[in-house]
Amino acid sequence: MKIVVQRSLNSSVSIRGEVVSQIRSGLVLLVCMETGDSDESIKQAAQKIINLRIFSDENGKMNKNISQAGGEILAVSQFTLSWPGKKGNRPSFDRSMEPNLANEYFEKFCNLVGESVGVKKGVFAESMQVTIINDGPVTFFLEF
């Protein structure tokens, strides 16, 4: 499982010109389910996201988690993250989880995170336009 985490001031997902999900302050998660991921890796990822202290406190230090910052999450399934990019120039997505199972795991992940903070989502397997106003910029790449 791979996740790109971006702290965001305002972000949205559109499909065919229509906004289908939007958040103000919070996190945008680009989430890739890979072959071999399990319920345990999903739980670990959800806990990490909920507890990441990447929002500024009153002293300007990254010391608050998303709940403490009053933010919400925009989660977007992103199978293209499965390509490691080390060999060749044409991406291969052999490491990506089979779509039906990936969608099931993506939903499980979003539900776990949603127990602590509001989660909005893109639409699985759709061609989406994702607009992200990255705050900082602050971006992290996590693997589980």
Mean pLDDT of the residues in the chain: 97
Active site residues: 78-80
As a whole number of angstroms, the distance between CA 130 and CA 30 comes to 10
State pTM to two decimals: 0.96
Residue 143 tokens read as 């693997």
Domain limits at 13? 2-143
Instruction: Provide the 3-class DSSP secondary structure of residue 74.
Output: strand
Distance CA 22, CA 6 (A): 14
Q: Where are the beta strands (DSSP E) in the chain?
A: 2-15, 18-23, 26-32, 55-56, 62-64, 72-77, 119-121, 129-143
Cα-trace Rg, the chain: 15
Q: What is the pLDDT of residues 35-62, one digit of tens each?
A: 999 999 999 999 999 999 999 999 999 9
pLDDT in tens, 70-100: 999 999 999 999 999 999 999 999 999 999 9
- Count of domains observed in the chain: 1
CATH of residue 97's domain is 3.50.80.10
